[in-house]
Amino acid sequence: MIARRIIRATNSPSRACYGPAHICSLPSIRLPNSGRLEPLQAGDVQITRLVPILGMLALSMAPALAQTMQTNTPPMQKGGMDTVMVGGQAMYPSKTIVGNAVNSADHTTLVAAVKAAGLVDTLNGPGPFTVFAPTNEAFAGLPAGTVDTLLKPENKGKLTQVLTYHVVAGDYDTTKLRAMILAGHGRAELKTVEGAPLTFMMNGSSNIVVRDAAGHVADITVADVGQSNGVIQVIDHVLLPSG
């Protein structure tokens, strides 16, 4: 039971405002299925049963609140994986590997190489694939002229070999990789689409590094970027197969 002021209107005794005084003092307010509250004159104070005005207000506001939440809530897709920012852009789990990579400002060289090698359709396919994706800076770390040479049409075979050495069939997030490393007493291997393996090791308690056939090591700098057809692991060095 709550003390409420019932303030009766002048010349209108049949109308009453059932609510707190500060609500009754407002200009005419129309609530769902409750008629109209008018600005009223002095009246009686008495004890009355609680009228669920706040409940009706909440019901009237619910559609707008739901729309706001739907608009502002970031996507959670693919088994609850978050949308991750890479290269200044959101990588949506509802998109394919290529569909996301083309929007990353850090992977323009990789995307150009994938297009030149004719691998767009493959990496847009159902997969799943795990792609170890070197950044532009990683490609820039190769000897001068290497990228330009690889992108020439006559070197498409070599370019394809390098790119497919960064792709593993299957969906390998860092949880799986870490478990494999621990099970292998400090190292694990995965066969790439190119055919040669990559070696994985721990560098500290959480960071995973990838070693190529030549012994070069890359850090996973952005992990577990979920895709509709696999996962991207961003790395800071280009991996090179033997030969």
8 A C-beta contact, residue 192 and residue 49? no
Dihedral sign for Cα 28, 31, 32, 34, please: negative
pLDDT confidence of residue 46: 40
**Residue 2 confidence (pLDDT):** 46
pLDDT at 31: 47
Rounded distance between C-alpha atoms, residue 111 and residue 106, angstroms: 10
Burial class of residue 43, CB neighbours in 10 A (0-12, 13-18, 19+): middle
One pLDDT digit (tens) per residue for the chain, 243 residues: 444 444 444 444 444 555 555 445 544 444 445 554 444 444 444 434 444 454 555 555 555 545 544 444 344 344 456 788 787 778 888 899 998 899 899 899 999 999 999 999 999 998 899 999 999 999 999 999 999 999 999 999 999 999 999 999 999 999 999 999 999 999 999 999 999 999 999 988 788 999 999 899 999 999 999 899 999 999 999 999 986
What b/e sequence results for 83-113 when a residue is b if at least 16 CB atoms lie within 10 Å of its CB, and e otherwise?
A: bbebbebebbbebbbbbbbbbbebbebbbeb
Number of Cβ within 10 Å of residue 26's Cβ equals 12
**What pLDDT does 4 receive?**
46
Q: What is the pLDDT of residue 217?
A: 95
Return the pLDDT at 11.
45
Q: What pLDDT does 206 receive?
A: 82
Domain span(s) for CATH 2.30.180.10 in the chain: 77-235
Domain 77-235 falls under CATH 2.70.70.10: no
